[in-house]
Amino acid sequence: MTALMNERANLGTGVQVVFKRNLEALIARAHTIERDGRPASQDPVIRQKLAQAFLELEILRLNTNRALTSLSKTRIPGAEGSIQKLYWSEMNQRTQQIAQEILGPYGQLEDFDNGTWQYGYLRSRGNTIEAGTSEIQRNIIAERVLGLPKSY
């Protein structure tokens, strides 16, 4: 279990940087992709979704700092890694879904932005499986953080 806990603890730090870069690129694209004859960034629903993605990324950053602080004090990865892994993997799916909504059919093209959005969307599905599925992460959080009985 310790190896997986270390893996989860370390993943959050690196993905945060990648997600920030991707969100910045998506916001820039929202200014150039047109929907109904005007930039997608002027659509109030798109603006709200991008703002939500930005806030979720900030939550990821703060939770990463909290997890690293805990790790530096105890030197043992705790349930924070499971919380982070669950959060970032599902956050990434939501952000990639927003990207597909903004980009429309371009988001599925390998030749558009070097396939960044196509790959990101498809890869986001694997994120909820690798290093322990979201269901396993929820069980770990329930048992180790909330003190609930084992789920069988």
Active site residues: 7
Q: What angle do CA 146, 150, 151 make, to 5 degrees?
A: 110
CA 74, CA 68: separation in Å to the nearest integer?
10
CA neighbor of 99 nearest in space, from 24, 11, 15, 17: 24
